[in-house]
Structure 1
Amino acid sequence: MWYYAARRILMSIPIALGVTVVCYALVLLAPGDPIQSLLPPDASPEDAAYLRKVYGFDKPIPIQYLLWLQRALSGDLGISLQTNRPVMLEVLNALSNTFVISVGAVLLAFSLAFILGTIAAYHIGKPADRIATGVAVVGVSVPNYWLGIVLVIVFAVKLGVLPATGMGTSGSASFSIFDWNQAKYAVLPILTMSLVPLGIIMRTTRSAVAEVLNNDFVQMLRAKGLGPLAVLRHAIWNALPQVLTVMGLQLGYLVGGSILVETIFTWPGTGFLMSKAILTRDVPVLQGAILVLSLTFVTINLMVDLLQTAVDPRIKRA
């Protein structure tokens, strides 16, 4: 177990370095000049050259990358071009807000998907299976941004029972998930983000559990007199590693792919932060947000791999 964990951690290091190269290069290849967004229309070329020197954009790109990587390894992602605040502080504050709705979507989608997928697998071809399959198809077919707009129209505009945008009357500074006056602002974003993973994980759970239920050892368990619940428990345990893989990927997608949902609901998370950075060409913020989200995704995958090993010891031999 410890040898496998150490090997997986060492394998994550070159992946993380590759992530830094990609996120730095992609941002620099985007059109537009970040310095021009800071200058007034009547600024002289000397002013532009001075700002480029101040922010380090006058150096060759490989040197810029190495200096940025050196600072990033020490926890310094630079200063925002628009707010003059440390990028790390802005990204971590936004990431904590993203985790609020991501964790809520995870708890809702994963629990419902696992329960409905298991029920569908145990009743293949029956009405319960058809209903669960229909829900899964809707989940993987409906775009989350479209669903978010529909939920705003229904629950905020027509019914007026939930707020449409924002993160509470006082913003993220006083947000508490245990206070309904604040938590109600997270309901629509959570519902919107949970639909896609609900459909994907439900289909995966149904397929994995149904495959295990058709194995010979399950027939042997039934022949020995085990009840339906005991047989189903064995099937779920054997299908769990495959389901955990998909759950880990979906958790990473929820954390890193929330830009459209957060923009629709004006939720001050990493997605909303990146959308503002793209519009204003705030390169340090954009690079820092992409780096932190990418490393978060790598970390989640590593944790899922280690959890799979704990659930299924056979993985350690791979």
Structure 2
Amino acid sequence: MLVYLAKRLAYTVPIVFSVALVCFMLVHLSPGDPLISILPADASVELEQRLRIQYGFDRPLPVQFWIWISNALSGDLGASIANGRPVLSEVLQAVRNTLLLACTAAVLGFALGMFFGLVAGYFRDSWIDKLATSIAIAGVSVPHYWLGMVLVIIFSVQLNWLPAVGAGPGNWSWTWTHLQYLVLPAVTMAVIPMGIITRTVRALVGDILSNDFVDALRAKGLGEGRVFLHVIKNAAPTAIAVMGLQLGYLLGGSILIETVFSWPGTGFLLNTAIFQRDLPLLQGTILVLALFFVFLNLFVDMLQAMIDPRIKRG
């Protein structure tokens, strides 16, 4: 296990460097001047040049990248151009809110997806299977930003049951006042992973139940409960891999949902940084999200190896 872990960590190092390089280049190759957001319309050439030197934009891109990655390794992601605050503190606060939303949506989506997938797999080609599959297809097909707006119209505007935007007053706490703000974005975000997990688990369970070892287990007199546990154990590695990817997508792909609900997470922060052309904030947010995705995949690989020893031998 330690050898497998060491190999995976060794593979992660060039991936992290490549992610940082791509992140830096994509941001800097996009059109527009990052100083436009803070320079007045009648700014002098001297002021523009002084700010360009202050933020390091006067240096060649390879030098800028080396300075940025060196500072990032020490925990310094620079300062925001728009407000002057440290990027790291801005990103960490947004990551905390995104983790709260993404993990809540993941628990909801994965639980419903596992339930619908197992039921559909066990009762394949029945009306239960068709109902669960229809729910899964609807969950994958419906645009989540559109669903978010529909939920706001129904539950916030018409029924006035839940707040439409924001994360609640003051610092977050597990009270009903703050939980009300979490319900609509979490439900909206959970729909797509629920549909994907449902279809994945249904296919896995159906394939496993058609194997000869399941008939052998039943022939030996094992009850359906014990057979069910064997099916789950064989389906777990693939299901966990899909769940890990979906959690990564929830962390990094929440920009539309967080914008619809004005949820102060990384997606909302990215949207703000893009419109303000705030390069340090944009680079720092993308880098942190990408690193989350890389290390989440590493964790999923370790978890798969612990559950299924065949992965380590392979």
TM-score (norm 2): 0.99
Q: Distance in 1 between matches of 2:226 and 2:14?
A: 44
Partner of 2:14: 14
Structure 1 runs not aligned, ≥5 long: none
Whether the aligned pair in 2 keeps the contact of 1:36 and 1:48 (CA below 8 Å) is no
Partner of 1:125: 125
2:312 aligned with 1:316, yes or no? yes
Equivalent runs, 1:152-171 vs 2, <5 Å: 152-170=152-170
Partner of 1:25: 25
Equivalent runs, 1:222-241 vs 2, <5 Å: 222-241=218-237
Residue 168 of structure 1 deviates from its aligned partner by 0.5
Residue 209 of structure 1 deviates from its aligned partner by 1.2
Q: Distance in 2 between matches of 1:70 and 1:205?
A: 43
* 2:211 partner letter: N
Residue 97 of structure 1 deviates from its aligned partner by 0.3
2:172 aligned with 1:175, yes or no? yes
SS at match of 2:84: coil
- RMSD (Å), alpha carbons: 0.7
2:257 aligned with 1:261, yes or no? yes
Number of residue pairs matched by the alignment: 314
* 1:59 partner letter: R
* 1:302 partner letter: L
Q: Distance in 2 between matches of 1:204 and 1:215?
A: 17
Whether the aligned pair in 2 keeps the contact of 1:106 and 1:251 (CA below 8 Å) is yes
2:285 aligned with 1:289, yes or no? yes
Partner of 1:54: 54
SS at match of 1:267: coil
Q: Distance in 1 between matches of 2:29 and 2:59?
A: 16
Residue 230 of structure 1 deviates from its aligned partner by 1.2
2:267 aligned with 1:274, yes or no? no
Q: Distance in 2 between matches of 1:39 and 1:240?
A: 55
Q: Distance in 1 between matches of 2:194 and 2:277?
A: 35
Identity, % of aligned pairs?
53
Q: Distance in 2 between matches of 1:186 and 1:273?
A: 18
Residue 113 of structure 1 deviates from its aligned partner by 0.6
Deviations, residues 256-311 of structure 1 (Å, cap 9, x unaligned): 00000000000000000010000000000000000000000001100000000011
Residue 153 of structure 1 deviates from its aligned partner by 0.4
Partner of 1:100: 100
Deviations, residues 31-82 of structure 1 (Å, cap 9, x unaligned): 1101122111111112111110011000000000000000001110000001
Q: Distance in 1 between matches of 2:163 and 2:35?
A: 37
Deviations, residues 199-234 of structure 1 (Å, cap 9, x unaligned): 001100010111111111111001111111211110
Q: Distance in 1 between matches of 2:44 and 2:311?
A: 62
Report runs of 4+ in structure 1 exceeding 4 Å deviation.
none
* 1:19 partner letter: V
Equivalent runs, 1:72-111 vs 2, <5 Å: 72-111=72-111
2:198 aligned with 1:202, yes or no? yes
Residue 187 of structure 1 deviates from its aligned partner by 0.4
* 1:144 partner letter: H
* 2:254 partner letter: S
Residue 128 of structure 1 deviates from its aligned partner by 1.2
Among 200, 205, 214, which residue is 1:218 paired with? Answer: 214
* 2:172 partner letter: F
2:243 aligned with 1:247, yes or no? yes
* 1:200 partner letter: I
Residue 14 of structure 1 deviates from its aligned partner by 0.4
Residue 169 of structure 1 deviates from its aligned partner by 2.4
SS at match of 1:40: coil
Whether the aligned pair in 2 keeps the contact of 1:4 and 1:316 (CA below 8 Å) is yes
Q: Distance in 2 between matches of 1:113 and 1:229?
A: 20
Deviations, residues 97-127 of structure 1 (Å, cap 9, x unaligned): 0011101001101011111101110000111
Q: Distance in 1 between matches of 2:29 and 2:259?
A: 24
Q: Distance in 1 between matches of 2:229 and 2:211?
A: 14
* 2:139 partner letter: G
Q: Distance in 1 between matches of 2:307 and 2:112?
A: 21
Whether the aligned pair in 2 keeps the contact of 1:193 and 1:254 (CA below 8 Å) is yes
Q: Distance in 2 between matches of 1:64 and 1:276?
A: 23
SS at match of 1:35: helix
* 1:109 partner letter: G
